[in-house]
Structure 1
């Protein structure tokens, strides 16, 4: 709990107009876009205790200095459009909402870069650049609502990534406030700046997640990439310098196919023969769901490829002719201009099938394009009893960001809980086909080392040890932390144990009285006093169980719980 004195001091640092500890505010910032099962909220209790909306980098620095000194948990947040738990306040504390740092500071046309506040919305940035005849090279599908800093912190690919790469390839420099309040520019700060000689544990968690660097590790003079995709666990991003490109004409085209293997073959040849700005597909199940909600234009086939080319009219027409030959070779159909423009206009709205739920449980994974057909077949077999939809976007690395949607109903608490295993299984299936997690956040922390690479992960671990030994900044993200059971759940476990203990002893006295009389006659429950004694013993046992649970990393709990959730889903679904 944050003390009242700390609340007053934090309000003074941020400004009373930009700080609140009122429940109506804290509840708004205690979740992200993903719907969590009720019991998960009970277990993790991700409830913010205060919300700060800093307006300058200096305010962010002062805020972090104070919170580190008083060990108050901090969680940076954009607009919460990611669903991987990266913005969840796992230990309560202060949510630092960054959207007031939303200015375009400088457009550098000579170096083709733009410097912006991390809280600016992608849509707003794109509009301002287009007024100058410029644009960004890639942007997320959530561009109308997500922040620049949010995508940088979460990492990933988006629209334009087929040609220009993901967000990591777009970032030139960052202004970051480290957990100790130091403000750095990553382009001018070597990775070696964060090197430490003395290794050791810095906060309670799964120690196997912390890796020591090898003696021959290579340090980059630019530390920018350490912070891209770090989910705010290493520092709070306040400014971002991005690459920009001239605004050019973009023309979309849509093709349809009768089968999955034909579509996948066409995707591979399109990527090899042309250079699309955007290359995206949906499967027949996704198309059928779109038809159910009247969002699917009529097409010849149910497997759809949406492609967009960028350049002069002549360059685009040359690329489209190549695409037409490929589509014909795979017995596909090039759809009309109206269908193509419809699909292009809908690129920002992947959740338009949500009304079938009324909830959606998403999961995303990267899979190599050459393994896509096998992965899709495996998904169809593994989830044959589930209703789900698949879409994917191809990156410049030849990977496919495959997004799976499971329509569900969070109001059906037990069934929705049991279905949570699906998101974890999607990633595990992707790994079996040579893939990797799309993003880390809190739920995928078990994959951190393989996601970042052993050496980069070790450098991130050094940085965390050096600047945030107690893990107060965005705890449980990237570096897996233990469960922090809610007070309500701890008390419930103790009460259940207190009630169960005397009942079990009483039943044992009825079922096997001779054994108990012969060996442990003193444990009989035969009067109020003995019941009370065993109730107290049960309370202590329950306390021990809850404390043990608080030592388990969330990643271990998820690994243990997934098979039980899978079994429960078959029973209750």
Structure 2
């Protein structure tokens, strides 16, 4: 829907030249980090009608008043570094770009807290904290661009979560503008973390931080997925808890060989999986951890790589999607996997994908869980890109076979909200939605979306069959169809009882 002249005048009075309607400026806000097929536009209007860039909470309060009066959807957005569609319109509306609200308000070096506006990137926040001898407890691998408010609203875990928990565990208090116009300070994190702006827009965040300590990375490689899983379990059980553990299965390791610095010999043998382990703390704790890794790697005939390799991989933690250069497009999907199932999940992933066109990496996020990201090299210019795009769901399908689940909901996976939040938590969110946003103007279609994710859920099975037939022929397609059947009752119930 196009905005009327009256609506544009009202918004111009609030935002001035920070109210934008030029189509070429709106286009980047019609998608997120994932490339969308053109056909998606046939079943949803993912192009915003306008963009606003607030600089203070009162502007957002006034924006909500205009939106309520005219029934205009508002879509809050950070840097769009998620691939779940949480920052994409479902039916047009106004995208609220929060990146101009990027001030650090207060750093309390005694209480180890920082209060900041939501539009600052995690990287810039960490840089300023490091100057003060402080550091973040955890941050996303997309920290160079991802904003504080965006990751809190999306929820999740990342670098440092193994030791300090998901991002929600770092949040103390949030200032939020509710859809009904109230501006509140809240410590009810169940309402405003992970809920993707459907209950309001975050305008300040108070976070726990920690003292800046030395971090020492080390890298080793092992010969297959099950050895990888066993080695990680032993590192967690036999030594100090690492700050983070990043893993790469062997297909991903071979793909990134093409991007290795030209003047350096590629260190990883063919079919090896790679593990980056980083320890923090005093020298005794770090050395104990490094010794544990050496012992575990030696036990499994692994290779400990040089300090140069470890330092290089540590710097590369911010660039997991660098392989997009080989695409030219990249389709990605994410899932939460029990650590005990990691070997089987990666094995199924490799058996279903072409070796040099798909790979997976991930972070160990607790003593018993891993977040896995599947990457698929594609070309969005191809006629059948829609069939290729459906691969973004395949890593989740595999994870669910072995007790895994979605890592978030967003637009694409809103039908899995109860699975993600739990019945009681979701009921609490629903009650707050009715109370704060009875007109459903704040990021509609997310979490409580119904028709769209179900259309997508069933439609993607047919697209997956088309993709398999096109790329792998009928024999492999039969195997894929067999696994698809386990997504539907009663076979799904039988599988869950086995």
TM-score by length of 1: 0.79
Structure 1 segments (4+ residues) deviating >4 Å: none
What's 2:73 paired with? Answer: 73
Residue 232 of structure 2 aligns to a residue whose secondary structure is helix
The corresponding residue for 1:435 is 404
In the alignment, what sits opposite 1:132? 132
What whole-Å deviation, never above 9, does each CA across 1:283-336 have from its counterpart, x for those lacking one? 110111011233583135621000100011222111111121111111111111
* Counterpart Cα distance in 2 of 1:22 and 1:258: 53
Gapped regions of structure 2 (runs ≥ 5)? 472-498
Q: Is 1:281 the counterpart of 2:281 in the alignment?
A: no
Counting only pairs closer than 5 Å after superposition, residues 26-41 of structure 1 correspond to structure 2 as 26-41=26-41
Residue 460 in 1 paired to residue 461 in 2?
A: no
Q: Distance in 2 between matches of 1:23 and 1:250?
A: 46
How far the C-alpha of 1:20 sits from its partner, in A, is 1.2
**Which of the numbers 425, 440, 456 marks the counterpart of 1:558?**
456
> How far off is 1:83 after superposition?
1.1
Q: What is the distance in 1 between the residues matched to 2:289 and 2:457?
A: 46
> 2:196 matched to 1:231?
yes
Displacement of 1:397 = 4.9
Measure the CA separation in 1 of the matches of 2:422 and 2:222: 37
Following superposition, the deviation at residue 470 of structure 1 comes to 2.7
Structure 1 residues 494-530: Cα deviation after superposition (integer angstroms, max 9, x where no partner):
xxxxxxxxxxxxxxxxxxxxxxxxxxxxxxxxxxxxx
Q: Report if the CA contact (8 A) 1:270-1:323 is conserved.
A: yes
Structure 2 counterpart of 1:10: 11
* Residue in 2 that maps onto 1:319: 289
Q: What secondary structure does 1:107 align onto?
A: strand
**Does residue 1:299 correspond to 2:268, yes or no?**
yes
Change in CA separation of 1:555 and 1:28 when aligned onto 2, cut-off 3 Å: closer
The question of whether the paired residues in 2 share the 8 Å contact of 1:179 and 1:468 is answered with yes
1:419 is displaced (CA, Å) by 1.8
Match of 2:440 in 1: 471
Q: Which runs of 5+ in 1 are unaligned?
A: 188-222, 482-552
2:312 equivalent in structure 1: 342
Q: Matched residues in 1 for 2:441 and 2:24: separation?
A: 24
Matched-pair contact (CA < 8 Å) for 2:198–2:443 = yes
Note the 1:6-405 alignment, pairs <5 A.
Answer: 6-14=7-15, 16-187=16-187, 223-274=188-239, 275-294=241-260, 297-300=266-269, 302-383=272-353, 387-405=357-375
Pair 1:572 & 2:470 matched: yes
Report the alpha carbon displacement of residue 380 of structure 1 after superposing the two structures with TM. 2.3
Aligned to 1:412, what secondary structure does the other structure show? Answer: coil
3-state SS of paired residue (2:36): coil
Deviations 1:346-386 (A, max 9, x none): 00001111122100100000001011112112222333688
Distance 1:98 1:418 in 2: 33
Matched, 1:444 2:410: no
Q: What is the total number of aligned residue pairs between the two structures?
A: 465
Gap change, CA 1:232 and 1:413, over 3 Å in 2 = farther
Q: TM-score w.r.t. structure 2 length? A: 0.91
Describe the superposition over 1:416-455 as per-residue Cα deviations: whole angstroms up to 9, x where unpaired: 1112322223212212211110111100111101101111
Greater radius of gyration (CA): 1
What's the CA shift for 1:563? 2.3
CA contact (8 A) 1:165 1:397 kept: no
